[in-house]
Structure formats: structure tokens, C-alpha cells
Amino acid sequence: MDRINKLKEYLKSTPNDNFLQHALALEYVKIGDDWEARKLFENILNNDPKYVGSYYHLAKLLERNFETKLAIEWYEKGMAATKEAGDQHSYNELQGAYEDLVY
């Protein structure tokens, strides 16, 4: 919880910092609080669809919680965003996870 509290403290001064929100979401995933993590990942991606690092983690979280249709949608959005950004590495990760789920 100490890391969570530190990240929350940092976010007080920069509440729209995607990196800090993403880091906080990952901490919530670590402790099994998928609801809080999901809210943060969705907030990041709804406000900044170019923040490609959160697509994979949000889709995996949804997949883990048996929200397959929604996970597929986020994988697809992520693949489109990474393709647009020219981020082949992230695209390949998303595509691999997507194919594992769909096929």
C-alpha cells in the first residue's frame, strides 16, 4: 500500500499524468483490485488514446475477468493506435494477445 499512497500523493499535484496513473493502475492489479485498475486504465485511454502502454493491460484485465468481448475491443483499439503511432513492438504484443484470445 505504501507505493499506492506515494503514487496518489504525486497525482495530487499532477492529476492528469498518464505515467503516474498507469503506474497506480499496475499497483492495483498487483493487489487484486481490478476495479480501481480498470477505472484508471479506462480514464487514461479515454483521455489520451495515444498512450499505447495501457491497452494491453486493460485488455488483459478484462480478459481475466471474463469480459472477452470488451477485451477484444480494447485489443483492436490498441492495435489501431500502435499502428498509427508506428510502434511495431507494442502492436506485436497486442496482436499476439488478441490472437491467443480470438483463435
Q: What is the CATH number of the domain that holds 89?
A: 1.25.40.10
Let me know: does 25 contact 41? Beta carbons within 8 Å. Answer: yes
Question: Considering its fold, how many domains does the chain have in total?
Answer: 1
- Phi then psi for 14, rounded to 5 degrees? -135, 70
Q: What are the residue ranges of helices labelled H in the chain?
A: 2-13, 18-30, 34-47, 53-64, 68-85, 88-102
Residue 36 DSSP symbol: H
Q: Whole domain around residue 62: which residue ranges? A: 2-102
Q: What is the pLDDT along the chain (103 residues), one digit of tens a residue?
A: 699 999 999 999 999 999 999 999 999 999 999 999 999 999 999 999 999 999 999 999 999 999 999 999 999 999 999 999 999 999 999 999 999 999 9
